[in-house]
Amino acid sequence: MTNSRRATRAFVAVAVFMASVVFADAPALVRKEQITPGVWYREYASNAEPLAIQVLEVERAAPGIAVEVWLARGMVAGLETLPDAVTRLSADGRDVIGAVNGDFFVREDGALPGDLAGLCVVDGELVSTPNRRAVLAFDGYGSPSIERFAFTGTATTADGASMPIVGVNQPCPDDGLVLVTDRMGEAVGEKHWASMLVLPSDVRIGLGLSVETFASGGAFIDCPTPALPGTVALVGKGTGERFLRAIGAGAAVRVAWSVSPSNDWAYAVGGGPRLLRNGAITVEQEAEAEGLSAVFLETLHPRTAVGFDPDRLYFVTVDGRQPGYSIGIGLRDLAAFLRDIGASEAINLDGGGSTTMWAGGDMRNRPSDGSTRSIANGLVIHRIRESAQPD
């Protein structure tokens, strides 16, 4: 689903109005601010069934505005609140305008806290491999797309023996093989791994790469161990470990992987289901294809979603689980709201207590946990500094 730099708190232009209206069933606009040229913040509310919605709207053609995926603390095995991510990204040099949470993930009490459910790409680097659910991806030009991705990988020895690679930066299944990079960040524990074979340091986990490389002197590291800085390793368990140990010292092993559909994907964040396709609400069909239950679609939850049309991006949070203020929303109604504000394509992201929006220097929604939850990744909208803009 990373970090933020300290956003400027002074608005370039601010237009705020409060409307005193009797709300119909449809949420009504109650607040509007221009945070910076090309970026607007809006609030919608309904009294019929208490509902509070926050929208950050970004003009896709606005000069000097970029959208990226951030990863908590810059690593997979990491969690971070949205305000802390903004502070970190700001300290790292980004002029942050807004940010929202991203993909579903393993919570603090899980086997590998921070482990992402779906695809994550950060600056062209494959950080986490996809599941069967929809993904919001941005190409090298910043153009968004909603896709369902697939990962394939194999390791092949010089004598032709091969074994599938099931994923990147994730727990290794029994009798499996995975790739682990230094993005994993924390110790690889005994409950996840058996042994790792370290590959040369110039192997980079891009989105479509086939590499012939050599075992690092046949060096195996018995886990648990931290992921080694600047390295990529093959990690095996059961038959996967036996496959690696049979390679032998200095023997060639060809490692190949790809993500499809292929493109110059610069950033990607997982979610699901897809909410809109060409302006049509597709929640039920997409959810069935993505393995999501009707209960998940229909229950009123806090939600986070992203939509777009040819001209704008819409980052949406809906508060919930707070009677009298905002009860939450089902996914079909969320899709209808996104369509009503102008989106033709849209995707649902992680919700519940993870739903968080930061914009123009402040948290804008009211998280249902009563405080901001530590999350695994998200999206950040920032102003590109003049020195970083292309000529």
With respect to residue 15, please indicate whether it lies within any of the assigned structural domains: no
- The reply to whether 380 and 275 lie within a common domain is yes
Name residue, tokens 């092993």.
253
- The reply to whether 270 and 379 lie within a common domain is yes
Q: Is the pTM for the entire model greater than 0.85?
A: yes
Instruction: Give the least confident one: 38-42, 64-68, 156-160.
Output: 156-160
- For the chain, the domain total comes to 2
- Is the peptide bond between 224 and the residue preceding it cis, with omega within 30 degrees of 0? yes
Domain extent at residue 101: 28-139+265-388
Q: Say whether pLDDT at 84 is over 90.
A: yes
Q: Are residues 42 and 29 in contact, defined by beta-carbon separation less than 8 angstroms? A: yes
In the numeric block, which tokens belong to residue 313?
A: 């991006």
| 189-241 per-position pLDDT tens digit | 444 445 667 776 566 676 655 555 555 444 555 554 555 666 778 888 889 98
> Residue 279: which of 349, 342, 347 has the closest Cα?
342
| 335-389 per-position pLDDT tens digit | 999 999 999 999 999 999 999 999 999 999 999 999 999 999 999 999 997 655 5
- The reply to whether 226 and 280 lie within a common domain is no
Name the DSSP letter for residue 282: -
Euclidean distance between CA atoms 68 and 86, whole angstroms:
12
With respect to residue 7, please indicate whether it lies within any of the assigned structural domains: no
